[in-house]
Amino acid sequence: MKRLAFLVTPLLLLAACGNGDGDKDDSNQDPSEDSSSEAAPVYEILPVSAEAPAGFVEAEGAEPDFPYYEESATQRFEVAGGKGEDRLEISSFVLPEGTDTSTIALQRELATSLTDGGNGFTYTSAADGALVNGKHGIYRFGRSGDGDDQLKQREYFIFSETQMVYASCQWKDNYEQVERACPELLAGIEFGGEWNDPLQA
């Protein structure tokens, strides 16, 4: 399975500064008088790119199961020959400007607010600090439906200052196949740039 490449953000947009006078010598300028702008985070979609795990096929034109935010990119892989209910999803979302994800408590609060009551799943367990290919985030396990129609899903939320990566592994009839492929999906996520990982040593 090809590694998922999240390498383009979060970047820092560095504002170019100049004095507008090519003959002026600023070598003795007081640093406190430096008028250059502070670095600002860039809000742009992370691309997702992966190959389907063995026994799965990619769903064309996939949209996020849960459109948590407007700007997003998604890949979905479904069990070959299935009904689309046993599947893996990886999505990236651009967070609203000003979203604070600097602590695990804030990340848990955000993930909880996104999922509880709004997506048809009832969550029976959760964990702070779930490890996804070297990055800590939020894990949630949910169920939807009853009896033989019940869907079960593992969800992972990983945050940067400006993005959220969401991964889910859902099953109904093919638990073993999804369970084998889920770790492969998670291990293939490659994080570039600075990600908010409060538990990272």
Write the pLDDT tens digit of every residue in 58-101: 998 888 877 788 888 889 999 999 999 999 999 889 999 999 99
141 exposure class (CB count in 10 Å sphere: 0-12, 13-18, 19+): middle
Query: 181 with 88: CB under 8 angstroms?
Result: yes
Cis preceding linkage at 10, omega within 30: yes
Instruction: Give the residue with greater pLDDT, 22 vs 141.
Output: 141
Instruction: Note the pLDDT of residue 37.
Output: 52
What does the pLDDT average to over 48-56? 85
pLDDT band (50, 70, 90) for residue 132: confident
Within a domain: residue 138?
Answer: yes
pLDDT tens digits, one per residue of 172-189: 999 999 999 999 988 888
Displacement of CA 67 from its chain's centroid (Å) = 13
- What tens digit of pLDDT does each residue of 7-46 get? 433 332 222 333 444 444 555 555 545 544 556 777 777 7
In a domain, 39, yes or no: no
Residue 23 included in any domain = no
| pTM for the predicted model, two decimal places | 0.77
Whether 20 is covered by a domain: the verdict is: no
Domains in the chain, number: 1
Write the CATH number for 155. 3.40.1000.10
Asked if residue 48 is part of any domain, the answer here is no
Find where tokens 């992972």 sit: 156
